[in-house]
Amino acid sequence: MNAYTRLVHHETAACNDPFAATAVPIYQTATFDIGDVDDPRAYDYARSGNPTRRVLEDTLATLEDGSRGFAFSSGMAAIASLTRLLTPGDEVVLGHDVYGGTSRLFEQIVAPCQGVIIRRVDFSNCDAVSDVVNERTRLLFVESPSNPCQHVVDIKRLASRIYGLEILLAVDNTMMSPHLQRPLSLGADVVIHSATKFLGGHGDVTAGAVIVRDEAMAERLAFVQNAEGTALGPFDSFLLLRGIKTLGLRLQQQQATAHRCVEVLRQRPDIAHIYWVGLEDHPGATIHERQAAGPGSVVTIDVGSASVARALLTETRLFQAAVSFGGVHSSISIPTCMSHASAVNSSDDGDGAALSESLVRLSFGIEGANDLISDLTRVLDATAQPATVHTDLPITALHDQDEFTMSNSANCVGPSNV
């Protein structure tokens, strides 16, 4: 099935609805009447299984080319469940630039409480992998492209390097979503999502997912999910199913907007650097193009100083100053003091990625690109020449040609005039 079709057509057999509801019903119940104890019905207790969640989990598995999916109350709960497959003395090799909360979980909980050894590696320098893994290594955990600096890992190559070893390769696919990248098809063993970001897409649900292919691993994850009670609730599962349907359209629009804004930003001398895999001079661009269907809509820019970064954060009007990304609303964050504060604080031993305070992460939503460009340039112009530039122009004066007109362009990246 086409990627867009898969997003809309969910296999709903798991809820076996007697009225043939066309939208997946929310089974807001903690318990189910099991009927005959000797021949119980499919569900008994919602921690162990719930039809709404099951449809979501099956959908996630399909979208990621996996065999089983598991939905959790957050991305962190999803990652934590994966760490339960580790035993004391095992070693985890963690990407040097993973999400701040992931670093915190591994370094401050998994290492001290589960007796697991954590090693940090720059996987975008993949040649080092054979030097890093040893007989204790059980898990490689990577993001590609990473967040916020968009280092790209060659997933297929990394998978081939550990092939036949008892080492799992887990890819946190949050930045891409299954619509753009499917790590299991590239040889990874586990896919992780913070479904709070692109999968949900509306900033109204916190959720996470783990998707695997291997049946034995799926059984162990199902056991962990039930034993620890970290599964996603029925209403949140419904919200995710609803959000997933428009993932393809959202991404199409968001990527086109990111592209337009980057084109403007890269003309500006006051932007020191742009980190986006969509740029042809990005060091990972070729690998990324091979393994993903698009660059995504999260762009990190280096604005040269911490004060300009702060000004952008507080003075843009259309970018919500929020840690999350991937939603229909554009958002802006300063990784060092927001999403990655936990990593900055915890990596004083220096083996995490060093982040600059002049980095600003922009997540482009589905607003009109011209509005977003005006909003950014207004603040940037003002910080460059504070005495002469008005910073209080009303937003309505800044966008006159914003109209939703569908693009005729062959590659169909979305409305060209927005």
Ligand X SMILES: *Cc1c(COP(=O)(O)O)cnc(C)c1O
Of the residues 44, 47, 156, 381, which is catalytic? 47
Of the residues 58, 154, 172, 189, which is catalytic? 172
Spatial separation of the C-alpha atoms in residues 90 and 111, rounded to whole Å: 10
**Residue 324 Cβ vs ligand X, minimum distance, rounded to whole Å:** 7
DSSP letter at 403?
-
Of the residues 27, 54, 68, 99, which is catalytic? 99
Among 64, 97, 154, 172, binds ligand X (CB under 6 A): 172
Residue 358: phi and psi, rounded to 5, are -95, 5
157 is annotated as an active-site residue: no
Q: How does DSSP assign 167-218, residue by residue?
A: -EEEEE-TTT-TTT--GGGGT-SEEEEETTTTTT-SS----EEEEES-HHHH
Quote the radius of gyration of the chain (alpha carbons, Å).
22
147 sits near ligand X (criterion: CB under 6 A):
yes
| Residue whose CB is less far from ligand X, 101 or 414 | 101
**Residue 41 Cβ vs ligand X, minimum distance, rounded to whole Å:** 32
**Residue 336 Cβ vs ligand X, minimum distance, rounded to whole Å:** 15
Q: Which helix (H) or strand (E) holds 275?
A: strand 273-275
Q: Which helix (H) or strand (E) holds 247?
A: helix 247-265
Among 52, 62, 74, 83, binds ligand X (CB under 6 A): 74
99 is annotated as an active-site residue: yes
236 sits near ligand X (criterion: CB under 6 A):
no
Chain centroid, CA 70 distance in Å: 16
| Residue whose CB is less far from ligand X, 32 or 325 | 325
245 is annotated as an active-site residue: no
370 sits near ligand X (criterion: CB under 6 A):
no
What token pair was written down for 191?
Answer: 């896919």
Q: 179 Cβ partners below 8 Å, 6+ apart?
A: 3, 7, 63, 198, 247, 248, 251, 293
Give Cα separations from 128 to 120, 158, 364 (angstroms): 11, 10, 34
Of the residues 54, 138, 182, 197, which is catalytic? 197
Q: Which helix (H) or strand (E) holds 299?
A: strand 298-302
41 is annotated as an active-site residue: no
Residue facing ligand X at closest CB distance? 75
99 sits near ligand X (criterion: CB under 6 A):
yes
Among 46, 76, 188, 303, binds ligand X (CB under 6 A): 76
363 sits near ligand X (criterion: CB under 6 A):
no
**Candidate segments 87-95, 191-199, 258-266, 268-276, binder of ligand X by CB under 6 A:** 191-199
The catalytic residues are 47, 99, 172, 197
